[in-house]
Chain A
Amino acid sequence: MLSSVKGSWCLILGASSGMGRATALAMAREGANIFGVHFSTASQQDEVDALIEELRATGVQVVFHNRNAASKQTRAELVPLVAEATGGAGVRVLLHSLAFGSLLPFIPQDDQADVISQRQMEMTADVMGHSLVYWTRDLYVAGLLPRGAKVFALTSRGDEHAMPSYGAVSAAKAVLGSHVRQLAVELAPAGIAVNALRAGMTLTPAMQRIPNSAGLAQRAREGNPHGRTTTPEDVAETILMLSASDLSWMTGNTIAVDGGEGLV
């Protein structure tokens, strides 16, 4: 049975830009309330304020917090606020869209002497990988992931491919894929589906930080059978579609959302 997301809550980690932002807008337009967590400097505040305003204009409830979602303290403080905002009902959708990591090579290069440090490697895996587990668990334990809830994580082609300077993020994406499988199994009895979406090359602010992102995007555009790159809205609509049912049978997958880019 299909069921609308209207009136439910969607918790988005990394809500201020890219796919998190697009999903917030798509969900709000369908009537879902948005609990967004983002981590931004004051220079980005105007943009975030404009997003909040746009979300509120749809008539849904909107709560945004500017906090580091990867920190234990943030989770401890925000999980009770999720309970409060949702009236204890919890969230229908949890989207993990955190993109904060280190883009440095492992081995010194002729034109790039800087290499990734142990600390940066671990931070990247923690933010972009492990934090999915901690948020999912804390919400579940607090009774905020009801039967039928959907957990989505965003991975990339880097989960199985090497790209220049992308090593730490690649590793984090591989971690994420593993966590999705493990969580899917452990949450199956609770009727909660956990899946990863592997978007095609998408020109988000996070992607634009990758060295030679313009070149990568051009190659993706030329290679994609649809003749264009993936947009954040493509991913948002997919999340909306996959959230429109209480069924948890499709779980533990990495689902390509790339217009066929990975096939060719």
Chain B
Amino acid sequence: MPEPTTVLDLEDLRRTIAEILDVEEAEVTDTADFKEDLDVDSLLAMEIMVALERKYQVTMGESNLQEVRSLISVHDLLAAKLVTA
């Protein structure tokens, strides 16, 4: 099992997501709702998911799309994936 290349860090995750969404980091608050507050559609949510899979070497399925909802929920999802990885 290869070591995860990236350690999960909330601020780093915030930067990554802001970059994918092409918004200012400050807009990605811990609880900002991606859909309601950041205008994220399901395709962008999928972009987030695929980018994070690569970055953190985890496997997600489309069923995880529902959890790509806010910074905190994505953080929790990744934390759970990294524990079981």
Q: Chain A residues in contact with chain B, CB under 8 A?
A: 39-43, 45, 66, 68, 70-71, 100, 102, 117, 119-120, 122-123, 127
The answer to whether A100 and B43 have CB atoms under 8 Å apart is yes
Q: With contacts A42-B58, A66-B50 known, what are 5 further pairs, Cβ within 8 A? A: A41-B62, A42-B50, A42-B60, A123-B43, A127-B43
Chain B positions within 8 Å of A119 at CB level = 35, 39-41
Check if B42 is an interface residue, CB within 8 A of chain A: yes
The answer to whether B41 and A39 have CB atoms under 8 Å apart is no
Check if B47 is an interface residue, CB within 8 A of chain A: yes
A39-B50, A41-B53, A68-B47 given as contacts; is B41 within 8 A of A123 (CB)?
yes
Q: Chain B residues in contact with chain A, CB under 8 A?
A: 35, 39-43, 46-47, 49-50, 53, 58-62, 64
Chain B positions within 8 Å of A102 at CB level = 41-42
The answer to whether B47 and A41 have CB atoms under 8 Å apart is no
Cα A53 to Cα B46 in complex, Å, equals 25
Chain A nearest CB: distance from B40 CB in Å?
Answer: 8
Chain B positions within 8 Å of A120 at CB level = 41-42
Cα A122 to Cα B42 in complex, Å, equals 11
